[in-house]
A and B are shown apart, each in its own frame.
Chain A
Amino acid sequence: MITTTKGLMDEALLDKREGTIDNDNETTTWIEYWLGGELVHRSAHVQLKRAVVTFGETAEF
């Protein structure tokens, strides 16, 4: 059973679509379930790859 915008639905009744985005910043996978031409479920999972970095400095007298 899949959680959808119309409540729980049998996965067998739905059209399943999946995709992946992979670049320097992230690896993202998404999954969609469609009923007829209507999107009734979409989930996305992002694996973050790129950190934020700051650099410490000291001055000389």
Chain B
Amino acid sequence: MANTQCMTNSFKVDLFNAVHAFNATNIPAHTVATADVFKAALYTAASSLGTTTTSFTSAVTEVSGTGYTTGGVVVTFGTAPSNTTTTAFLTPSATITYTTVTLSTSFDAMLLYNNTNAGKNAVAVFTFTAQTVAAGTFSLTMPTNDASTGLLRLA
């Protein structure tokens, strides 16, 4: 088994249904009044997250350990989705940080999901070299938010 970096299949359907509101700017009046809360959860290297992952609740191999809260941490989308000609892009506006945690089981994936949505719908899976943490900090720093490096892109 392995985790695969991807935008989930269900997220693409969610886009047609206007399920997610990443930022308070330009939210359609027929959906919600405020932006949703998104979270980032970490998963063990023995997991199988990928395009068919549909939600946080369906992914059962989340890490556990001292200082880590089930469900992960809140992801900040302080910058509204934007576009440059043909490519729309969106990137969290702050580093995702898990402070003073001990995660002894090797992990290599982060699931970004909508925590406001009742189904806790999955957005994307991001992978990295397997890590452990001992009484330390794990952080995920974001790339530049533009059409060529933005974390989530629709081209």
Which A residues are closer than 8 A to B by beta carbons?
3-5, 21, 23, 25-26, 28, 30-32, 39-56
Contact = CB atoms under 8 A, between A and B. Distances in A.
Interface residues of B, number: 33
21 contacts: A3-B100, A3-B136, A23-B129, A26-B128, A28-B128, A28-B129, A32-B134, A41-B134, A43-B133, A43-B136, A44-B131, A44-B138, A45-B138, A46-B128, A46-B129, A47-B143, A48-B141, A51-B151, A51-B152, A52-B5, A54-B154
A10 to B, nearest CB: 15
The secondary-structure label for the interface of chain A is: strand
Contacts, number: 93
B128 A52 contact: no
Nearest to B9: A54
Interface of B: 5-7, 12, 89, 100, 102, 124-129, 131-143, 149-155
Contacts of A55: 154-155
A42 B134 contact: yes
Nearest to A39: B134
Contacts of B125: 52
A51 B143 contact: yes
B153 A42 contact: no
A39 to B, nearest CB: 5
Contacts of B140: 46, 48
Contacts of B128: 25-26, 28, 46, 48
A50 B40 CA distance: 17
